[in-house]
Chains A and B, each alone.
With several copies, the nearest count.
Chain A
Amino acid sequence: MTPTVHVLPFEQHLVELENKITELRALSESSFLDLSAEIETLTQKLNASRCETYQCLTPWQVTQIARHPQRPRTLSYLERLFHDFVELHGGRQFPDDNAIVCGLATFHGEPVVVVGHQKGKDTEDNIYRNFGMPHPEGYRKALRVMKLANKFGRPIITFVDTPGAYPGLEAEERGQAEAIARNCLEMSFFQVPVVVVIVGEGGSGGAVALGVGDAVIMLEYAIYSVISPEGCASILWKDASRAEDAATALKLTSQDLLKFGVIDEVVTEPVGGAHRDFETTAQNIEKAIAKYLALLKPMSVEELQQRRQAKYRQMGIYTDQK
């Protein structure tokens, strides 16, 4: 038996169908009745209904999928898509930060460096991972390891999945603003290809610190935003419960970001979200990473840097009222 999938609020009607199918199956087994036709009909209805639901998700529903507790995490992709992973823990100067994992690995036989936010699988793991919210030392560890890749000419692949930087006392004392800023600055200089994969929540500064890439790709139901919908709602309406409206206002879905030129590609997710079909999701990501590495690896350092600079140089929309 696969573990029970956590059901999101907007999926409730699907669960009712699922339950009915399960009941019929049980009944058909215990009673030797042939209910296959009924089961088939209901299954088709379930699939159609799920497709329908997933075809017109609201930004808030997407946010819920992006945060799904069973959504595949950085380590899931690390295990599935990479080999020979050697996790490195040392930022050298700071305690290790378990909200970020990084290390050496191979991708399709080629050595790469992988860095990513890591949320927990369950409550205990989430405490260990600080819910994927890094402290400054996490960014600094990531930077040290990315610099290793840069020094030895290995591509960097980052996975973004964080609610954001941890708003704590010590994080401030240890200069989390500096750490985030430093990563942006240093990643600008890198002489190797950087592929950023936004797989879950791309939360503000915490995401940006791993988010400067030659290619930025994003899972269909991931989000990427300057502020969480809840945070935005409390500022706008002094009411965090209006997060749904804020999610809409913020334009934080993969489609929105593609339109703004902030990401290069949306990586399709299976209907029902990545957590319902990890293998397909992983394969889609694998293809996308392979594609961008193939594109970027032949480029000269100059070309790579110019391209990266040019890309971010033009981010922003404004008018000149001269």
Chain B
Amino acid sequence: MGWFAKTRRNIIPSNVWEKCKRCEEAIYRKDLEKNFWVCQKCDYHFALPNLDRINLLADEGTFEEFDAALASDDPLQFQGVVPYRERLKKSQAKTLVKEAITTGYAKICGLPVVLAVFNFDFMGGSMGSVVGEKIVRACENAIQRRHPFVLVSTSGGARMDEGILSLMQMIKTGMAVARLSMERIPFISFLADPTTGGVTASVAMLGDVILAEPGALIGFAGPRVIEQTIKQTLPKGFQRAEFLKEKGVIDMVVHRSQAKNTVGKILRFFA
């Protein structure tokens, strides 16, 4: 039983049908879970919840979480349609976690790593002070233990509700990667759908090796903003993982079924 079993399986019934977003096939949820949320008919990669992602990559029973108690403040007293404080509470209630990233120690294919996984279900995986801080602490842990750092991103970008402080997380996390780099700690960055904005333009794009899931949307500006700017429809496949591989922006597109195995191979190169 994976790490997430305790916290998640018991809250969502698995005897329901899900519809594939690409081929529209109805799939039994239990089958999807077994197949790590990849459509067996058309290979569509469903969004993988944060905890399933940890289970996908980490060897069974090896994950030990760091800094689970770090939680966001509301430094700007930010008032949107819903005040930031309320949005935070709702997300916390929905996800049962305090923030949009989970970090911790794990083994992948037997090799020890520090693993950090964004949680898109928590406010779109946006990066505010806590996400930044947890990434930096994860990097510091990686340096201390001399373990490679593996980051799985899925994020809408900087968390607007924390204003300039969320922007500063780009520099803060970039600097943490600079320290990793100086210490020659390997950093594998794995991009899942979607990875955009300030997360792409900081830690996510700084991996020694950058992998992405098939079809993942990856970019700085969002496609809608670009369309509005250039007043043109974007070409099919634009900003998708496959496109970015062709553009030399990322290294590989890795099917979810090969994710662990590929990360393992790369870790062995660095080990």
Contacts and interface: CB of A to CB of B under 8 A. Distances in A.
Direct contact of A and B (CB under 8 A): yes
Interface of A: 84, 86-97, 104-106, 111, 137, 141, 148, 151-154, 165-169, 171-178, 180-182, 184-186, 188-189, 204-205, 207-208, 211-212, 224-227, 231-232, 235-237, 249-252, 256-257, 260, 262, 309, 312-313, 315-322
22 contacts: A87-B252, A94-B248, A152-B186, A152-B269, A153-B184, A165-B221, A168-B229, A172-B221, A180-B170, A181-B174, A184-B171, A184-B178, A185-B178, A205-B167, A205-B170, A212-B175, A226-B162, A249-B78, A251-B164, A262-B165, A313-B136, A317-B165
The SS class assigned to the A binding surface is mixed
A224 B174 contact: no
A231 B226 CA distance: 13
A141 B136 CA distance: 28
Contacts, number: 261
Interface stretch (B28-36, B113-121, B125-133): B125-133
A312 to B, nearest CB: 5
Nearest to B182: A189
A256 B201 CA distance: 24
Interface residues of B, number: 80
Which 9 A-B residue pairings sit nearest by Cβ, starting from the closest? A184-B174, A316-B129, A167-B221, A188-B178, A177-B200, A177-B220, A322-B69, A315-B168, A226-B167
Given A86-B262, A224-B164, A172 B136 contact: no
Given A171-B221, A172-B221, A262-B164, A111 B269 contact: yes
B250 to A, nearest CB: 5
Contacts of A167: 220-222, 225-226, 229
A70 to B, nearest CB: 25
B202 A184 contact: yes
Interface in B88-135: 98, 128-130, 132-133
Contact of B252 (A86, A151, A171): A86
Given A167-B225, A249-B76, A256-B164, A189 B220 contact: no
Interface in B232-261: 232, 234, 238-239, 245-252
A174 B248 CA distance: 8
Contact of A252 (B81, B163, B166): B163
A95 B178 contact: no
A59 to B, nearest CB: 11
Contact of A226 (B164, B203, B222): B164
B268 A226 contact: no
A315 B136 CA distance: 11
B220 A180 contact: yes
Interface string B127-170: 01110110010000000000000000000001010111111111
A133 B70 CA distance: 36
A309 B238 contact: no
A320 B164 contact: no
Contact of A317 (B98, B129, B198, B248): B129
Contacts of B209: 86, 88, 104, 148
B265 A168 contact: no
Contacts of B248: 89-97, 137, 141, 175
Most chain A beta carbons < 10 A, residue from B69, B200, B206, B248: B248
Contacts of B250: 89-90
A311 B174 CA distance: 13
B129 A185 contact: no
Contacts of A154: 269
A260 B164 contact: yes
A169 B204 CA distance: 20
A167 B248 CA distance: 19
B80 A152 contact: no
B73 A317 contact: yes
Given A168-B229, A180-B170, 14 more contacts: A89-B245, A92-B249, A97-B248, A168-B221, A168-B230, A169-B230, A169-B234, A173-B249, A204-B198, A226-B160, A313-B175, A316-B128, A316-B165, A320-B69
